[in-house]
């Protein structure tokens, strides 16, 4: 199976991907954040680097999907999906005037070509978090390149995530409100996620 975790910056996707991978013995694939050659530059000058960053992420995600398809006999859990690249991040950059019409059109042409060769996840897990939770998590992990992320930027992304979740029709989606959760440090919170996930995986 292909399980994917979606959610805004700071929602806890990477941590939960790691924890679920360990719990179930799944192979975990992570977003290309560490070592990404554009991310730090993007947060300093979004207009200059928006297109470059989105192309990098799109290519990275497509490579992950190809790898997932090659792993015929194992279950994979993926940190963020290719759908978010286009429907949330690139769209937000375009609607905000950060990405030009020309770059957005070029990006969508490439995305439309790639998506024809992509199969959706068997299950999408959406980690729903409000701005205070996201800001707290971002500050807690202390990545230098995320220090200048604005609340307005996070709120815009949250709005797009809500739209994406409400219209998602590519397969099953499990929505988990993580505002009052600390699954990384509280075993009860993590166990509640396991219970919800087991119902989706084994009893749906």
SS3 annotation, the chain: CEEEEEECCCCCHHHHHHHHHHHHCCEEECCCCCCCCCHHHHHHCHHHHHHHHHHHHHHHHHHHHHHHHHCCCCCEEEECCHHHHHHHHHHHHHHCCCCCHHHHHHHHHHHHHHHCCCCCCCEEEEEECCHHHHHHHHHHHCCHHHCCCCHHHHHHHHHHHHHHHHHCCCCEEEEEECCCCCCCCCHHHHHHHHHHHHHHHHCC
Examine the residue annotation and report whether 182 is marked as an active-site residue of this protein.
no
Q: Which of 45, 79, 85, 144 is catalytic?
A: 79
Residues belonging to the active site: 79
């Amino acid at each position: 199976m292909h399980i994917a975790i979606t959610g805004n910056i700071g929602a806890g996707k990477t941590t939960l991907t790691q924890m679920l991978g360990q719990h179930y013995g799944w192979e975990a694939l992570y977003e290309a954040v560490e070592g990404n050659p554009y991310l730090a530059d993007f947060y300093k000058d979004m207009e200059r680097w928006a297109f470059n960053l989105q192309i990098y992420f799109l290519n990275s995600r497509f490579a992950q999907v190809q790898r997932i398809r090659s792993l015929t006999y194992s279950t994979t859990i993926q940190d963020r999906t290719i759908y978010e690249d286009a429907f949330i991040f690139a769209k937000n950059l375009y609607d905000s005037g950060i990405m030009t019409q020309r770059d957005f059109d070029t990006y969508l042409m490439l995305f439309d070509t790639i998506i024809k060769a992509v199969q959706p996840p068997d299950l999408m897990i959406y980690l729903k978090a409000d701005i205070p939770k996201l800001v707290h998590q971002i500050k807690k992990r202390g990545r230098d390149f995320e220090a200048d992320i604005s609340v307005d930027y996070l709120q815009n992304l949250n709005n797009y995530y809500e739209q994406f979740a409400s219209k998602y029709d590519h397969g099953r989606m499990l929505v988990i409100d993580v505002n009052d959760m600390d699954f990384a440090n509280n075993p009860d919170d993590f166990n509640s996620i396991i219970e919800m996930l087991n119902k989706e995986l084994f009893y749906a």
